[in-house]
Amino acid sequence: MSGRRVFDLIEIPDEFWQHPDVLDALRRRDVGRLFILLNDATGISQTRLAIACDTTQPKISGYMRGVAKVEELEVFERIADGLNLPSHARIALGLAPIVTDTSPAAPVIPPRNARPALPAPAVSGLLSADAGDSEEDDPSVRRRTFVGLTGAALFGAILADPIRSGPADAIESFAAVLASYAPDTAGSALDEPPDLPSLASAVAQAKRDYQACRYSDVTSSLPVLLSRLQAACAVLDGEARSRAYTLSAEAHHVAASILFKVGDEGLGWLAADRSMQAARASEDPLTVASSARIVTHALMSGKHYRAATDTATSLAAKFDHDVTTHDAESLSVYGSLLLRGAIAAAQHDNRGGADELLTEAEGAAARLGDDLNLRWTAFGPTNASLHRVNVAVTLGDAGTAIDVARSVDLGRIDVTERKASFLMDTARAFLQCGRHERAYLALRAAEEIAPEEITGRPAARRLVRDLMSTAPLSVQRQAEYFARRIGVTE
């Protein structure tokens, strides 16, 4: 036989992988288009491609004709290995780069301000298959893949530094204000009368930043805002003072939420207590009930699950009794407090209590009738479903969690923090039932939409570490690179 033989190694010029059309095909994970471009550039046959990529000629033909497409992570890996993709091409395809060294500097990664070329992927494909058997053991399940989620080159981004690795004085600023020894900022706030509209706007911005998972922005701006609010509460009187206390309760609520996310339970407790003190001083029942949510969170952070459940239940009942006629705001706060109690009950392994509180919250959501964000609760029917997923996975009912998650319309979740938490809960459920590839992809999706939720939250980093340590060989390399890239070590 003259010329090239089918078993010869494929020789692909380096410049092929730099061509814009090739990079576009890689980013879109359009393997058929990639094969066509490769055939045009090198004359390689479908048979030789099939041998190199450990598949069959009819499959290669199907990809090139557009009647079939690659969706499984394992097949993308085989193709990348068979074609000997360079690191930048692997990254464009959404795979880990070639690692020739075990040091953290080995991966070839773009500049820290780089972002993926494609928008955040859809995640509905994660939940499309039955959760009964492990995909590692069932090739037919592996072929029912994660349509949409595998369509973006998620490995193209370098995320912001974790909150915990930011400037050391950020947390110290919280400590100073919460302990009321921040004379510089408090004194400057007292030089002129407090501007309540300006303070209200700043608190709203802090809430928006928190819900968008822009935690670094919150930690940099919130300590000074807390000090300004303390000063306002000290010098104002009458209705203006009550309004200042309401704003202070909301701002301290945000501070506590951030501190609990980064694992500082001591300061989190102090911020939660300050939130409740300010709420009571405001004499606004809605504000008191809203601050009760963060107090419940504080109790849970200290593993006082029964006390957390009792607190949420009793304060929700009192609030419901005190409100003569519920409106949309009061229903949102009431339902959110019930959901917090349901999570506490689940963490206490109180299945009956968790289900009772969830059912009552779902009733409040049904009465509300829509997914809203009144009083920054993000409460509604969808949020109630998200909490049912969380409760199920907390109780170890991974199958139930995935079944409920299938019914969730992600398009109705407008709050990024809620969406990221849902994806983390979904990853936990997949990990519980041995579906490591889906757990990995759920974490990638969460990272894509909310980088700081993954890099700055100890619970998320523990989940990544669990995935890295338990993943089978078919997923392990991706999981280890993902963990290494966000700074998680074994």
- What is the residue extent of each domain of the chain? 14-108, 122-144+415-490, 166-283, 302-324+334-409
What letter does residue 72 receive in the DSSP assignment? -
> Cβ(354)–Cβ(306) under 8 Å?
no
Please, what is the average pLDDT of the chain? Answer: 82
CA distance 1 to 278: 87
Number of Cβ within a 10 Å radius of residue 147: 16
Mean pLDDT of 140-156: 30
CA distance 411 to 427: 19
Amino acid at 259: L
CA distance 190 to 234: 9
CA distance 381 to 114: 36
Amino acid at 376: W
**Does residue 55 surpass a pLDDT of 50?**
yes
Burial of 289 per CB tally in 10 Å (0-12, 13-18, 19+): buried
Q: pLDDT category, 410, cuts 50, 70, 90?
A: confident
**Does residue 111 surpass a pLDDT of 60?**
no
CA distance 189 to 230: 9
Question: Which of the residue ranges 169-183, 258-272, 425-439 would you say has the lowest mean pLDDT?
Answer: 169-183
Which backbone phi and psi does 487 adopt, to 5 degrees?
A: 85, 20
Q: pLDDT category, 190, cuts 50, 70, 90?
A: low
Cα angle value 360/362/364 (rounded, 5°): 75
CA distance 129 to 302: 37
Number of Cβ within a 10 Å radius of residue 448: 23
Mean pLDDT of 30-59: 86
> Cβ(190)–Cβ(236) under 8 Å?
no
pLDDT at 50: 83
Question: Which of the residue ranges 77-91, 239-253, 422-436 would you say has the lowest mean pLDDT?
Answer: 77-91
Mean pLDDT of 83-90: 87
Q: pLDDT category, 481, cuts 50, 70, 90?
A: confident
Helix (H, G, I), strand (E, B) or coil at 15: helix
CA distance 356 to 393: 17
Q: Is the overall model pTM greater than 0.75, yes or no? A: no
> Cβ(148)–Cβ(240) under 8 Å?
no
Mean pLDDT of 270-287: 96
Q: pLDDT category, 152, cuts 50, 70, 90?
A: very low
Give the architecture (CATH level 2) of 14-108. Orthogonal Bundle (1.10)
pLDDT at 312: 96
Mean pLDDT of 68-81: 86
